[in-house]
Structure 1
Amino acid sequence: MADPSLALQGVIYPRLQADCPSVSGRVYDRPPQAVVFPYIGLGEVQIVDDSADCIDGVEAFITLHVWSRAVGQVEAKRIASEIHSSLNGAELDLGSAWQFHLIEHRSTNYLSDPDGVTTHAVITFRALIDAR
């Protein structure tokens, strides 16, 4: 069985590029050395078995990171809101290997980084997926 996080990343990445104008397409799996702020980073993914009789399912927890150097938290909160609007309750097509059921927002945390200038938002979503 293929890793469902690859299918999720494959649909989430372009969706965020299109739906989050505040980052002007700056959505990264790994940001470049000379990254321009603000941007969204694709973060950690946890896959939890959710199988039942005759169903090969998983629960996927996807973490996205917003990085902003604007003064205060307003920019990070605006971007987090764009992410929420883009993904929460979205219908995603994961291709022929996976049957998508839902994606829902679980939490958002806003942090001030120790550098004193960067605001960091950590946004977590939960998705339910079955193998076809």
Structure 2
Amino acid sequence: MADASFELIGAMMAALRANAAVAALVGTRIYDRVPERQDGTPNVPYPYISLGPDTMIPDDFDCIETEEVTIQWDIWTSGDGEAYGGVQCRKICGAVKKALHGAELNLPTHGLVSLQFELRRILDDPNPAISHGVMQFTAQIDLLE
């Protein structure tokens, strides 16, 4: 049986890619691993969304095996106008929230009980031309056997 977080990430990524509002803002630039140049800097145009860290906490009760999985998505914008002031980053965060909060996603071998938006932060980046949004979603997953 596949790892629950692996299945959840795949389903979330598919939902983001299928969402018209998200696509209007970032196109197809949604990555689990951002392509990099030789020097380690991103080799994709802004704006884009990348997968951040995830955590898993076992949440078993009675005879039901469940997991609480938290997935982070990072939103990256840079450039002039709305991108420079962070407005574009906030718009993308809003579209990501609408696409995923409460979404009913199908997982291949597990059951998604709930998917909730938990946190949005806009962070300062060492490069003042870059806006960095952090979004966290928490899922309750039933480990079907």
Q: Identify the match of residue 82 of structure 1 among 87, 90, 95.
A: 95
Q: Identify the match of residue 100 of structure 1 among 112, 115, 118.
A: 112
How many positions carry a matched residue from both structures?
A: 131
1:32 and 2:35 correspond: yes
1:117 and 2:129 correspond: yes
Q: 1:71 offset after TM fit, Å?
A: 1.1
Mapped partners of 1:32, 1:100: distance in 2:
30
Deviates more, 1:11-20 or 1:103-112: 11-20
Structure-2-length-normalised TM-score: 0.87
Q: Identify the match of residue 66 of structure 2 among 53, 57, 60.
A: 57
Mapped partners of 2:101, 2:137: distance in 1:
8
Mapped partners of 2:125, 2:136: distance in 1:
19
Give CA deviations for 1:70-93 in whole Å, capped at 9, x if unaligned. 211110001001100000011010
**Kept after mapping to 1: 8 A contact 2:34/2:44:** yes
**Secondary structure of the structure 2 residue equivalent to 1:71:** helix
**Kept after mapping to 2: 8 A contact 1:18/1:25:** no
Mapped partners of 1:50, 1:90: distance in 2:
21
Gaps of 5+ in 1: none
Q: Tell me what 1:131 maps to.
A: 143
Provide the alpha-carbon RMSD of the alignment.
1.0
**Secondary structure of the structure 1 residue equivalent to 2:5:** helix
Q: 1:10 offset after TM fit, Å?
A: 1.4
**Kept after mapping to 1: 8 A contact 2:66/2:143:** yes
Q: 1:2 offset after TM fit, Å?
A: 3.0
Shift >3 Å, 4+ stretches? none
Give CA deviations for 1:2-35 in whole Å, capped at 9, x if unaligned. 3111101111112111211200010001111221
Amino acid at match of 2:65: D
Seq. identity, %: 35
Mapped partners of 1:46, 1:62: distance in 2:
7
